[in-house]
Amino acid sequence: MDLLVRKLAARDVVPEDEQQALRAAATETVPYAAGEEVVREGERQTVSRLLVSGLIARVKLLDDGRRQITELHIPGDFVDLHSFLLKRLDHDVIAVTPARLVSYPHEGLRKITEQWPHLTRLLWLSTTLDGAGHREWIVSAGRRTAAEHVGHLFCEFLLRYEVVGLGDRRRCPLPLTQQQLADACGLTPVHVNRVLQELRHEGLLEWRAGELTVPDFDRLAQVSRFDPAFLNLIREPR
């Protein structure tokens, strides 16, 4: 919850009473094991979930086994706030690492939309930030080279972890396998491996034991054509 407030506070003021209203809407905290499914595509949802710890992926599957990760969530992210409105998701949500999620029943979220218009707008904002992230991924998949794509994703991670105070632009957690990174980038694990070697040889990054280290963020950002504008890190009234 605190992490969500930190994330929202990077974009607007979050008054104390709204923070309390949010807190009041939460029910239990549920732990998941690595690889466990949190939400299955198409099933009717009655709660949305906020990630407290761990890493979560939204995964879309094609019938012949092809898979694409469409978003990776870090602590402080609502992993399926959109299920409040969509009711049924178009994708699975799975725990990449062990994770803990706090439930927000839709009933309580509905009450928030009836009593807390500004808080409602902040939650709505949170889903539009997801949308902006999606658009950036479309660009990466459509028009960036494999190396730019991987580098861009890493830059995104560093800044998002920085926002919630769990990393900075030099280092952040990145507990993924190369296979999973490939699924996020729409590449082959073999090719991801080659791209990583290239980036490592150029001294742009290190990635070991689930932790990413980038000695010179600006250089990686430049090589990857990374522009942080899509993160909408501007504090103003919403």
From candidates 193, 223, 232, 233, binder to DNA by CB under 7 A? 193
Task: Quickly count: other Cβ atoms within 10 Å of residue 14's Cβ.
Answer: 18
**Pattern 109-148, binding to DNA, x per CB under 7 A?**
------------------------------------xxx-
Instruction: Read off the amino acid at residue 155.
Output: C
Q: Residue 91's binding partner, choosing from DNA, its own copies, none, with beta-carbon cut-off 5 to 8 A by kind?
A: its own copies
Binding of DNA by 213 (CB under 7 A): no
Binding of its own copies by 120 (CB under 8 A): yes
Adjacent-strand bridge partners of 173: 211
For helices 16-25 and 2-9, angle between their N-to-C axes, nearest 10 degrees: 140
CA-to-CA separations, 51 to 16, 77, 78, 108, 171, in angstroms, rounded: 21, 6, 6, 18, 20
Binding of DNA by 159 (CB under 7 A): no
Binding of DNA by 169 (CB under 7 A): no
Binding of DNA by 196 (CB under 7 A): yes
Binding of its own copies by 21 (CB under 8 A): no
Contact by Cβ (8 Å): 230, 155? no
- 44: Cα within 13 Å, side-chain hemisphere: 1
Residue 57, judged by CB atoms within 10 A of its CB (0-12, 13-18, 19+), counts as buried
Q: Residue 147's binding partner, choosing from DNA, its own copies, none, with beta-carbon cut-off 5 to 8 A by kind?
A: DNA
Interface residues with DNA (CB under 7 A)?
Answer: 145-147, 177-179, 186-191, 193-194, 196-197
Q: Which residues bind its own copies (CB under 8 A)?
A: 41-42, 58, 60, 62-64, 66-68, 70-71, 82, 85-88, 90-91, 110, 113-114, 117, 120-121, 124-125, 127-132, 134-139, 141-144, 185-186, 225, 229-230, 232, 234, 236, 238
